[in-house]
Amino acid sequence: MSDRDLAARRLLAVTEEELQRIVLDIHDGPVQNLFAALSQLTLLRGQLSTTADLPVECSAAITRVIGLIEVSLRDIRSLLGVFRAPAFVENGLAEIIEDIVIQHESFTSGMVTLEMNEPLPETVSLPAKIALCRILQESLSNVRRHAGVETAAVKLWTEKGRLILEVSDRGHGFQPPPLNGPQATERHEHIGLRGMRERAALVGGKLFVESQPGTGTRIRVEVPMHE
């Protein structure tokens, strides 16, 4: 294994570790505090409702704050769910991809069609697995957040020594920023797209973003199957 491959593996492992630490920190800190705030506010609302001269705006405001906290908690928990560590080491790529798709459907009201075409490699290196799965999660999350449609299609197949994963939707689409020149905003603004591109590059692969306003979006990642 070359020094570059080794460095890429180390970086991926560290990134995963950091991600899991952040997930745990958020779960144990802010999420628990928000739960505590929610139950205290609910209690307060109950106590105040027995106070006859409470202005009606006051109790409406408390109800609004309770609603906001509930929505935030739901959002945070669904985000934490997305970033929980899939069993990268124990499970094969196809199995993890299926899990991610099922999980996405259960967390959102979305529908994902999944097509995995044989032959798929018996084993896929851990870094390639991590890169592909994280790219899948971010792509599905982007469909949910930006495409304005409920349906996405995921396809996995091999071609000329490469593993190819494609996530497409028929939603709003967008103009992908150029990768070079003064308009190359991906570096600064689009952390999701940039992260996907960097993950692909770390395992010697490439990311393609095909989209246009009105025509939907197709994210394709190709990684070599060496090893």
Residues of this chain that interact with ligand ATP (CB under 6 A) are: 142-143, 145-147, 169, 171-174, 190-193, 217
Residues in contact with Mg ion, counted by CB under 5 A, come to a total of 2
211 binds Mg ion (CB under 5 A): no
First vs last C-alpha separation in the chain: 9
Nearest to ligand ATP of 9, 172 (CB atom):
172
Q: Which does 205 bind (CB under 5 to 8 A by kind): Mg ion, ligand ATP, none?
A: none
Nearest to ligand ATP of 92, 192 (CB atom):
192
Nearest distance from C-beta of residue 142 to Mg ion, angstroms:
4
The structure tokens 């499970």 sit at: 91
> In the beta sheet, which residues pair with residue 8?
none
Nearest distance from C-beta of residue 199 to ligand ATP, angstroms:
13
CA gap 32, 39 in Å, rounded: 11
Nearest to Mg ion of 142, 217 (CB atom):
142
**In the chain, which ranges are continuous DSSP H helix?**
3-26, 32-48, 56-82, 93-107, 126-142, 191-202
Q: Which tokens hold the place of 45? A: 């609302």
Please identify which residue in 92, 121, 177, 192 interacts with Mg ion, judged by CB under 5 A: 192
Nearest to ligand ATP of 64, 145 (CB atom):
145
Helix and strand counts by DSSP (H, E) for the chain = 6, 5
Residue 206 in 3-state DSSP?
Answer: strand
Please identify which residue in 137, 139, 142, 217 interacts with Mg ion, judged by CB under 5 A: 142
Nearest to Mg ion of 125, 144 (CB atom):
144
List the one residue out of 115, 160, 166 whose CA is nearest residue 140.
Answer: 166
Residues in contact with Mg ion by the rule CB under 5 A: 142, 192
